[in-house]
Structure 1
Amino acid sequence: MKNRDFIITSLQPWDIEIGSTIKNTALEISKTNRVLYINTPMDYSTRFRGNKNAAWKHRMDVVKKRVSPIRQINERMWVADCPFCVFPVGGLPTACLFDTVNRINNKMIADYICKVASRFGFTDYIHLIDTDIYRSQYLKEYIKPALSIYYCRDFVIGQPYWKKNGARLEAMLAAKLDIVLTNSTQFAIRFKKYNLNTFPIETGVNLELYDARKKWEVPEDLKHIPSPIIGYVGSVIALRLDCNLLMDVAQSRSQYNFVFIGPEDETFSNHPLHRLPNVYFLGKKRVETLPAYITGCDVCINPQIINDITDGNYPLKVDEYLAMGKPIVATSTHTMRDIFAEYAYLPANTEEYLQALDAALKECGDKNKEEQRIRFAHTHSWQHSVQKIYNIIEQFQAF
């Protein structure tokens, strides 16, 4: 697909510091099409009580008109920061009040989108909504795109903030749009109830960054940890990871060293895992250094706890592990069984985890299996992922 205009509204701000499916998707689309990425606006509670990080400071500069709200990312792509704040809706007591205020927010965002789209001459544009259940709820009727797509790539309605209104509004949003995309077959089954034009697609991996053929220097804080190293790279949060399983496994395999690379939540920060001599928490690292950390691991793990949020979620980190050629042990979720079963050990309990780790370590140095993993990861490039989106759009518009 070439020379189309895309407008993207996302739950995820452009300035997020970790790897991002929607950012990589947007960048891939912009190779042959024009893209306008609308940075979700701050609400007033975030303005006054939010994390005063660099992204917050930039948004405040935009709101106070100190800097331009438009940033050009490449020849065909722009990010537009909303030069205003919206009203917080999460704590509103009734659905009626929520819908009223949320519609006001949507109208402000829509007016701004139309203004920027007109400035750049965007016409007949495709609107891609990335898991933005609230602030994109009414945009189809306000901005009138040529085609509207909802992209669900996480079970956000299982999280506390979304439980009150999320399920209701996500179903409404999916039903009114033209196409629904999901990043797992489990999610697709759920959305088929609301929209028959629902299609599962697999996300991509940044193969320019996660390149096993480059020479990566193992970072200093990993060098001193003896092998075998069982590594996890990503956010270390109890909502997604099974801390009790990890405790049992680490105690049962005291000869293995377990290393966690990523920011911890409060549960993990205070967990007894920190007192085990064979467990290391190295903290948050820059994205561009993560392949080096993966290189220093013997086996990579994704020890998810099974819940509505994790079972159908697409684990991008597994593609990153595979792209680096590493043996993988990951909890047997629906998506892992559906997509990665041939390339990872998929235990379902502590005993199976122990056996899987033992078996995976025996594969270290097996160049044939390493190449098989890398080749499979390369079938999940962002080019392949976005081409599936193009194919679905073209198929829909053909009828």
Structure 2
Amino acid sequence: MKPNNYLIYPTVTCWDEPPRARHQVAHELKKDGDVYFVEKNRTGMPRVEVRLAEPGIYVVTPYFPVNYKVRYRTPGLNELYHRWLLTKIKALGPQFDLVICFDYTAPAIHSFFKNVIFYCADDNVGFGKFNPFFINRYHTRTERLVAEKARLCIVTSDYMQGKINKYNPATHVVPLGAPSLIYHGARPPRPREGTPVLGLVGYLDSNLDYPLLESLLQEFIVHFIGPVSPANRERLGRFPHARFLGVKTGEALYEALQEVDVCIAPYDEAVINKGATPNKLWLYLAMGKPAVVTNIPNIRSWKFPEGTVYKCANEEFVETCRRAYQEDTDALSQQRLGLSQSNSWEERVKTIKNLYFGQPA
């Protein structure tokens, strides 16, 4: 039986960054074939470079004269870019058994491939710092066209199903998943001594509640694992308990999380994406760590065994972190590991494949 070839088409993401859904899907798909993962474009003369990032994963890096933040917001130019890039990808040679498109601005993909899954994890239209009405109208149209012609649409929340199902009835909710860790250094909860350590994985971006982070830093050491802007580093770095560990992946990420007592996801509900669900929550469970998460709308119906995940209002976040730290046990850690295994990315991708191959050609 010949190996499969898969194309993942996100173009506003790099491969070497904290893992998001598209990275996790790539890692699962490579188990039975080769994955071609398309990055966001770098600025430069038009060309495409391909590198083997790891066994089974080829990273496709496009270069284009216009920065991607301008490019994907510019009608005409964005269409030109996608048609140029998709032509280059077709010329690479592989026949792709499945194409998973994370890019809501790329309806041109349907002119090149007839086996497309549209994977929509967030409410992308109107989300960001620069959203004039004409750009929102343009992105509403492109998202509709990507969804309408897809063989299957995958969303991660009930909110997004309500939105995308209007464009394509073959829309299914498949929640984000826990990574299937190949990691042999897992240890039971650390002895309770000294100042408790909180851990936050991901971007220090506008989704987070910064006054709450400042309150946490007055009582806890906080390890920030991921990219941080100079402004946010300056704002939080004035607290002696702030530790900026930078971007970490693989074994380095897992080792960093071993030094954490409680993992957190403190969102600002006033600005968080309406379709968002916390991808980092599943990573925390896969490490056996207690997770304290803002009870955002898309997870309010999610049920977890007591002592595994703590959903709370931000007004209760500091006290909930204290409680999660005090209540943690090895038995609860093992229970979290079990939760992650039954909600793994391996299971999520199996579900997506079963949904796709059950669709008419």
Task: Give the TM bin, normalised by the shorter chain.
Answer: 0.7 to 0.9
Out of 114, 117, 129, the residue aligned to residue 149 of structure 1 is 117
Of residues 328, 352, 361, the one that matches 1:389 is 352
CA contact (8 A) 1:329 1:356 kept: yes
User: Shift of the alpha carbon at 1:188?
Assistant: 1.8
Contact 2:180–2:346 at 8 Å: present in 1 too?
A: no
How many Å apart are 1:40 and its aligned residue?
A: 4.0
| Correspondence for 1:56 | none
Structure 2 residue aligned with 1:79, among 59, 84, 95? Answer: 59
Q: Which amino acid aligns with 2:210?
A: C
Find the counterpart in structure 1 of residue 326 from structure 2: 362
SS in 2 for 1:389: helix
Within-5 A mapping of 1:172-211? 172-209=145-182, 211=183
For residue 312 of structure 2, give the secondary structure of its aligned residue in structure 1.
Answer: coil
Matches within 5 A, 1:102-141: 102-116=78-92, 119-120=93-94, 122=95, 125-130=97-102, 132-134=103-105, 136-141=106-111
| SS state at 2:214 partner | helix
In the alignment, structure 1 residue 305 sits paired with structure 2 residue 268: yes
Q: How does 1:1-399 map to 2 (within 5 A)?
A: 4-42=4-42, 46-47=43-44, 63=47, 69-72=49-52, 77-82=57-62, 85=64, 87=66, 98-116=74-92, 119-120=93-94, 122=95, 125-130=97-102, 132-134=103-105, 136-141=106-111, 143=112, 145-157=113-125, 158-161=127-130, 164=135, 165-209=138-182, 211=183, 214-215=185-186, 226-237=194-205, 239-251=206-218, 254=219, 256-271=220-235, 273-277=236-240, 279-287=241-249, 288-307=251-270, 309-339=272-302, 341-342=304-305, 343-350=308-315, 352-364=316-328, 366-397=329-360
Could you tell me the TM-score, scaled by structure 1's length? 0.76
With normalisation by structure 2, the TM-score equals: 0.83
Q: Could you tell me whether the CA contact under 8 Å between 2:49 and 2:60 is conserved in 1?
A: yes
Distance 1:275 1:112, change over 3 A: closer
Change (3 A) 1:311 1:338: farther
Could you say which structure has the higher strand fraction?
2
Task: Give the CA deviation at 1:12.
Answer: 4.3
Distance in 2 (alpha carbons) for counterparts of 1:11 and 1:89: 8
Give the secondary structure class of the aligned counterpart of 1:345. Answer: strand
Deviation sequence 1:263-319 (CA, Å, 0-9, x none)? 322442232x44444x32323143232222222222221111114644532322211
Shift of 1:137: 2.3
Q: Deviations over 1:5-44 (max 9, x none)?
A: 43221124453232232133123213224433334433xx
Per-residue CA deviation, residues 54-89 of structure 1 (Å, 9 max, x unaligned), is: xxxxxx7x94xxxx933345675543344x526568
Q: Which protein is bigger by CA-based radius of gyration?
A: 1
Contact 2:292 2:320 (C-alpha < 8 Å) held by counterparts = yes
- One-letter amino acid matched to 2:352: I
1:171 deviates by 2.6
Segments of structure 1 that go 5 or more residues without pairing to the other structure are 48-59
Report if aligned partners of 2:265, 2:292 keep a CA contact under 8 Å in 1: yes
Q: Assess if the C-alpha contact under 8 Å between 2:186 and 2:258 holds in 1.
A: no
Paired AA for residue 64 in structure 2 = C
CA contact (8 A) 1:227 1:298 kept: no
Q: Distance in 2 between matches of 1:384 and 1:2?
A: 23
| Aligned 8 A contact 2:41 2:67 in 1 | no
Verify the 8 A CA contact 2:15 2:23 in the aligned structure 1. Answer: no
* C-alpha spacing 1:276/1:312, structure 2 compared with 1 (3 Å): same
Distance 2:31 2:243 in 1: 38
Q: Does the 8 A contact of 1:9 with 1:40 survive in 2?
A: no
Q: Comparing both structures, which one devotes a greater share of its residues to helix?
A: 1
Q: How much has 1:331 moved relative to structure 2?
A: 0.4
* Divergent runs of 4+, >6 A: none
Shift, 1:386, TM fit: 1.0
- Asked if 2 retains the 8 angstrom alpha-carbon contact of 1:155 and 1:308, the reply is no
**CA RMSD of the aligned region, Å?**
3.3
Matched residue pairs, number? Answer: 351
State how far apart, in whole Å, the 2-side matches of 1:10 and 1:139 are: 11
Q: Taking every aligned residue pair, what percent have the same amino acid on both sides?
A: 23
Amino acid at match of 1:115: A
